[in-house]
Amino acid sequence: MNPYQHGEVFVTEDGAETDLDLGHYERFIDENLTRVNNVTTGQVYKAVIEKERRGEYLGATVQVIPHITNEIKAHVKRVAEASHAEVCIVEVGGTVGDIESLPFLEAIRQMRADVGEENVMYAHLTLVPHLGAPDELKTKPTQHSVRELRGIGIQPDAIVCRTQTVLPMPQELKEKIALFCDVPRSAVVQNVDAPSIYGVPLNLENEGLADVAVRKLRLDRAVPHLGEWESIVNRALHPKHRVTIALVGKYVELKDAYISINEALYHAGIAHDTAVDIRRIDSEVIEEDGVETLYGAHGILVAPGFGARGVKGKLAAIQYARVQRVPYLGICYGMQIACIEFARNVCGIAEAMTTEVDETSPEPVIDFMPEQRDLEVYGGTMRLGAYSCTLVPGTLTARAYGELEISERHRHRYEFNNRYRPIFEEHGMRFAGFHNAGKTQLVEVVELPESMHPWFVGTQAHPEFKSRPNHPAPLYRDFVGAALRHSYPQPPARASEAERQTRTAHRI
């Protein structure tokens, strides 16, 4: 999945590579999702073709209706049954009228007849643009999209009006949309630009969207407990401190390419009542302009990324972080490159490299996993999903997690070459976590001891995929804490859990 087309590739617990939106859903509902929570056109067509080849359609001509739509509905029902949830939220992406989304819209149209009108609610998200010159909101795009939606047989039960202005929509505008689009006035809700994405649920709650859903689906009404969420948003919007993190990568011009890393850093900032300013730096710029681009950063994070482009810049950034004692966090490739930098500049292995960059390297500090050699199919064949890790007591990582048996998600093909462990340990590198793969120990975490560096950690995993605004990823939390100490001569004390609960209770 090309980052320039898809943005970040999000990985689920069971190893599915999905669109980044699924990551946002996990962060908002604080639940781990799986591959069944994501369905694509390719998956649907593949399943239908396989059924046809097995003779399940008894030789009938395969058509969009009913075969494609039935497969989509079956997928939705499987998710609902497996989750045992009271409400299953289904997002159909795209724009009404697009060819790509028509089979999915037809499938959800049929759902109303399949499960009963009282068990289906259609919520239509639409744009209400603001015209600057006349300073007014325009409802014509909403009227047009609803007409297109009704033209294919779907009457929305609620209309969520996306607006860029922070000003409330005038009541007469909501009444106009309700009248022209045939929905109750109370079912027209505004979704304004929010200073923090985590403020959106609070905005929608204030607009009454949940009440509309409760009435439509005939659910028991309950008062939501939003105190914790309000506390999160309040700390995100009113931080006491500020740090700058240099995010070094190869896709930095595309904001969505590192969206989970961004969010994990923000979550860590919330835990420390700290605003995290992310300075995105292209590793190729470091190659051209030098490490001066890193000056002023209180912490340096080298992001994942396949291939040789920008590796020299990442090596330079890591060397700068190590020598200048700037807190460092390496994620996946960022851990591997940190090992190469250490091998070259500390262990004296001048030709150290990864076989991902140089297949003929005489010093393959990072090398293929044995089962990754001679692959004929590359899609979905990496080390994907959650893997266990045993941490070494007394390490920075063990202190961060507060336990020795952990699990994090992965997405990679290459591993640290274990034959270099003795020389690394001889020169001070600490191996802080391992995955036991049969008789082989795979290195999961590397560190520099505090006698060598205040905070230097690299992990083969992607802990950002499991970070939540109310449960920040432990390594990101402690990395931002180290950056905070680096930025203040006398580091501010982080609020204790008891103090946070007191603040939350007070707000409730």
Q: Among all residues, which ones are annotated catalytic? A: 332, 462, 464
Q: Please give the structure tokens belonging to residue 82.
A: 């497996």
Task: Look at residue 246 and give its three-state secondary structure.
Answer: strand
Q: Please give the structure tokens belonging to residue 303.
A: 């992001």
- CA-closest candidate to residue 386, choices 407, 405, 403, 412: 407
Cβ-contact 299, 480 below 8 angstroms: yes
User: Which residue has 């739509």 as its token pair?
Assistant: 69
Task: Look at residue 348 and give its three-state secondary structure.
Answer: coil
Alpha-carbon separation of residue 301 from 20, 313, 396, 429 (angstroms): 20, 13, 16, 18
Distance CA 419, CA 339 (A): 13
Alpha-carbon separation of residue 181 from 14, 137, 184, 383 (angstroms): 42, 17, 9, 49
User: Which residue has 């969520």 as its token pair?
Assistant: 160
Cα-Cα end-to-end distance for the chain: 43
Cβ-contact 165, 126 below 8 angstroms: no
Distance CA 94, CA 105 (A): 10
Question: SS3 sequence, 207-227?
Answer: HCHHHHHHHHCCCCCCCCCCH
Determine if residue 385 is left, alpha or beta; phi over 0 gives left, psi from -120 to 50 gives alpha, anything else beta: left
Q: How many Å is the maximal CA-CA distance in the chain?
A: 76
- CA-closest candidate to residue 233, choices 484, 479, 507, 467: 507
Which string of b and e fits 293-309 if b means at least 16 CB within 10 Å? bbeebbbbbbbbbeeee
Distance CA 35, CA 52 (A): 23
Distance CA 387, CA 444 (A): 10
Return all residues near 41 (Cβ < 8 A) that are at least 6 apart. Answer: 100, 103
Task: Look at residue 445 and give its three-state secondary structure.
Answer: strand
In angstroms and rounded to an integer, the radius of gyration of the C-alpha atoms of the chain is: 26
